[in-house]
A = this chain, B = another copy of it.
Amino acid sequence: MVTTSALKTREPLPLTSASPSETKVSPPGTVLARLGAHAATVRVRRGQSVALSFEGSEAAFVVRSGALMLHVTLPGGFRQVVALFYPGDVFRAAFAPPAAGAHLSAVSPGDVLRFRWSGLSQLVASDPEIAGFVENAVARQTSRQAIHMAAVGRFDCQQRVATYLMELAMRTGVRAPCGGLAFEMPLNRTDMADYLGLNADTLSRTMSRLRASGLLSHPERHRALIRDLDALAALTPAAQSIRALYGKMPADARHECLMTD
């Protein structure tokens, strides 16, 4: 059950909580609206590539809906999906490393606000609320990356997969009529493997094992259902952190909160 799982989350240290203590005056959505007034809204399709420069200058993006992926390809064919960006996330081209074949693309259809970085930077300077929004987005993304780093660096195959599935389930899962959490799996096997630092074959095997164990089911491609989130959480050492990151709020509420514009 989603709702009960949140109860088990222990209160993290106050300082490590990414959410700001300052209370905003404006209703939610206003910041995004104000940002949108100064940006081009780009509608992206799955797989669509997003240019990192914009009319010769550095581009920046705020994800409004959908998800993006940043990957690098190093000489020798080493490919790594470095980060995933979700609604509310902020990305500027300078986040991508130089000389690394960096590439930003959509993994699911959605809307992205596109800026010149200089423009977004000015907005940040002129509007404290926008500044807070961006600062918090960056902090949230960074702490997510830290967990992911630990997963890729230290977990075995099954733990990595469980970590990723749990993130997905908590972020975008909705309660299925038959019980459990249903969610989209925007990445294909190769991208998912490259995100988790695994071989695609190994990943496939691991998913099969999870399916065989009854934890996971796969009604169709790009879609999954988790029967028992707690059982999944038991498979990853990062469960606590993921719960803390993806919040106390039930997955459905989160979904609405983040996906509305």
A residues at B contact (CB < 8 Å) = 9-10, 12-18, 21-22, 52-53, 56-59, 70, 72, 74-76, 78-80, 82-83, 92-100, 102, 118, 121, 124-125, 128, 131-132, 135-136, 138-140, 142-150, 152-155, 194, 196-197, 237-238, 240-241, 243-245
Contacts and interface: CB of A to CB of B under 8 A. Distances in A.
Contacts of A142: 94-95, 142
A121 B153 CA distance: 32
A135 B152 contact: no
Contact of A98 (B13, B92, B95, B197): B13
A154 B16 CA distance: 29
B243 A99 contact: yes
A194 B78 CA distance: 21
A203 to B, nearest CB: 13
Chain multiplicity (copies): 2
A155 B78 contact: yes
Given A80-B150, A146-B102, A153-B152, A139 B13 contact: no
A225 B95 CA distance: 31
Given A99-B240, A118-B22, A154-B78, A146 B72 contact: yes
Nearest to A134: B135
A220 B143 CA distance: 36
A95 B53 contact: no
Given A53-B13, A131-B125, A97 B152 contact: no
A74 B18 contact: no
13 contacts: A14-B56, A16-B100, A74-B238, A76-B237, A82-B145, A82-B150, A95-B139, A96-B146, A97-B147, A97-B245, A100-B147, A145-B145, A152-B153
B94 A143 contact: yes
Q: Which 7 A-B pairs have the closest CB atoms?
A: A153-B197, A12-B98, A15-B53, A94-B139, A98-B244, A80-B150, A97-B143
B12 A92 contact: no
A93 B58 CA distance: 28
B10 A99 contact: yes
Contacts of A196: 153
Contact of A154 (B80, B131, B135, B143): B80
